[in-house]
Amino acid sequence: MRPVEVVRTYLELRDPGELHGGTIDDPALSLAPETLCSVETYRELYDLVGREYHWRDRTSWSDERLAAHLGDPSVVVWVLRHEGRPAGYFELVRGSDGSVEIGYFGLVGEFIGRGFGKHLLTRAVEESWRMGATRVWLHTCTLDGPAALPNYRARGFTEYRTERYVTEIP
């Protein structure tokens, strides 16, 4: 393991009109909420999308803790599929302040570079507003893919805070 300095950037949309949507029309794509998302399904999605970017937060959670999180009515997981195979997902978390956080968001590696990211982010924001969001927010960091921050900015998100920290990666 080696220490790496990371910059985390927080971004937000405060009004539905700020969204610069970008969807694609591909009959091979489907997007739906993962009703009653199982711990096994969630762990698979989390690993498929996050492994390359050193996502570790949820790997330390016990099955019981993760099941409780997924069972919380303020949490919704949506899965993007291409020809029935998982291509990406997002997790929305409604806050007590009325905001909705896009807690996790990303694509499976083989689907990056095909316009799916702008499509998935647009849909995540639209679903957040449908949940009654007063604000939609997320964060990204320098460990994420190089297209992450540009995609968030292109969809209309604005930065409101950055922070630096050191983590260890293999």
Is residue 9 scored above 90 in pLDDT? yes
pLDDT of 117 reads 96
pLDDT of 167 reads 93
Q: Delineate the domains of the chain, giving CATH numbers in brackets.
A: 2-169 (3.40.630.30)
Q: What is the mean pLDDT of residues 11-21?
A: 98
SS3 for 34?
coil
Cα angle, residue 48 at apex, residues 47 and 53 outer, rounded to 5°: 70
**Helices and strands (DSSP H and E) totals, the chain:** 4, 7
pLDDT of 61 reads 97
Q: What is the mean pLDDT of residues 8-13?
A: 98
SS3 for 55?
coil
Q: For residue 15, what pLDDT band results from cuts at 50, 70 and 90?
A: very high
pLDDT digits (tens, 9 = 90+) for 46-103: 999 999 999 999 999 999 999 999 999 999 999 999 999 999 999 999 999 999 999 9
pLDDT digits (tens, 9 = 90+) for 132-143: 999 999 999 999
Is residue 170 scored above 90 in pLDDT? no
pLDDT of 166 reads 96
Question: Which run of H or E residues covers position 165?
Answer: strand 158-169
Q: What is the mean pLDDT of the chain?
A: 97
